[in-house]
Copies of this chain bind each other. A is one copy, B any other.
Amino acid sequence: MADTTKTQEEPKKEMTLLEVVKEVDGFPYERDDPEHFKQYMSKFHAFKINGCDHVLGYMPTEIMKKWDWEAEEHWKIDNETRTLTLLCDKDAKPEHRTELLHTTLRAAHEKKIFDVIKGNAWRDESYPIYHPVTKKLLASIERAAACLFGLPTWGIHMTAYYRDKKTREPILWIATRSEDKPTFPLMLDNTVAGGMATNQGPFECMLKESMEEAKFGPEVAKNAECGGCLTYIYVRDERAGGEKGLLQPEHEYIYDLELDEKTIPGVDEEHGEVQGFEAMNIEKVIRELRAGKFKPNCASVVIDFLMRHNQIKPDEESDYAEISARLHRRLGYPLS
């Protein structure tokens, strides 16, 4: 395979693997500096839905102000408690709440208010919003708007690999994102990744994305094995496109797919998400990780793969336990 990474921007100076992981888990930990955390959070409004006492997400106040929420009667802003609440009957059905959200967001989309949902950034896919305690579905929201509200999302990432015949070392199929992707163009990516829509299960999502992104049919992809779940809170920066400082708490179910040497991922020219795949050995994978060439959450998926497969070892990596904890952050906002 051609080396598809040459076209990228100049490399940063070499990072430690913990620094790489901090790029995807960038939301501060209150315990590390309570004063800084308080100040940081003072720049957000909490997002709530009437009928649920708990905070569901957070929106940067400056970004919230770009839209006149209270022009519609189903929104209420409380600047004392810094809360943005979707008003609806306490016992409203999820479909009704979904409709209220959709009406507002569609209007903001048409008026091009928020970068993350304007134009073709609008995905027309539904993501679930769950009650943090009962886990029941409260509503669904346009996928591109989840980060606007700092809502937790669910997805899958899959690493396809084969083993070197002599050394048995895993060789990873790494994708390079297309040049014209609005988010993280030309950065390195996992073999397959995708978000889980409302009512979609992880395995089903993995099968669907495997076909769309790597041309692996179900007869191949069904052999993928789940190896865990990564959780982190990403704070969007300029590479993500759109507004900066939006929060993305993500759950990523992780699949490994061991292949023989002859089964090769295919580029789907129509979808155009990926410009190519490269079979990368561990040494090169680690070099690219440290050089910051991977999309941040994909870097974390690779690091987790290497840790689970004994390719990053605790005898050699002094930050091993801290990296492991930050790849599995306990998500959820304060409960009331």
Contacts and interface: CB of A to CB of B under 8 A. Distances in A.
Interface string A299-336: 00000000111100111001011101111111110110
Given A201-B315, A324-B328, A330-B325, A307 B228 contact: yes
Q: For this complex, into which size category does the number of interface residues on chain A fall?
A: 35 or more
A95 interface: no
Interface stretch (A27-35, A117-125, A171-179): A27-35
A64 to B, nearest CB: 23
A309 B229 CA distance: 12
Most chain B beta carbons < 10 A, residue from A31, A33, A204: A31
Interface string A148-187: 0000000000000000000000000000000000000000
A196 to B, nearest CB: 10
24 contacts: A29-B330, A30-B31, A31-B332, A31-B334, A32-B335, A34-B334, A201-B315, A202-B315, A203-B313, A203-B314, A203-B315, A226-B310, A227-B307, A227-B308, A227-B309, A228-B307, A228-B308, A229-B324, A231-B324, A253-B314, A321-B331, A325-B328, A326-B330, A328-B328
A12 interface: no
A314 B31 contact: no
B226 A324 contact: no
A261 interface: no
A308 to B, nearest CB: 5
Given A253-B314, A328-B325, A335 B31 contact: yes
Identify the 7 closest CB pairs spanning chains A and B, nearest first. Answer: A328-B328, A225-B310, A325-B330, A229-B324, A202-B314, A229-B321, A251-B321
Contacts of A31: 30, 332, 334-335
A309 B251 contact: no
Contacts of A30: 30-31
A327 B231 CA distance: 12
A329 B321 CA distance: 10
A315 B225 CA distance: 12
A59 B124 CA distance: 54
How many identical subunits does the complex contain? 2
Nearest to A29: B330
A160 B310 CA distance: 15
Contacts of A322: 330
A328 B328 CA distance: 6
A135 interface: yes
A266 to B, nearest CB: 25
Contacts of A324: 228-229, 231, 328
B329 A325 contact: yes
A117 to B, nearest CB: 26
Contacts of A326: 330
Contacts of A135: 318
Contacts of A226: 307, 310, 313-314
Given A29-B330, A204-B315, A228-B307, 19 more contacts: A30-B30, A31-B334, A31-B335, A32-B335, A33-B335, A34-B334, A201-B315, A226-B310, A227-B308, A227-B310, A228-B308, A229-B321, A229-B324, A231-B324, A251-B321, A322-B330, A325-B330, A327-B328, A328-B328
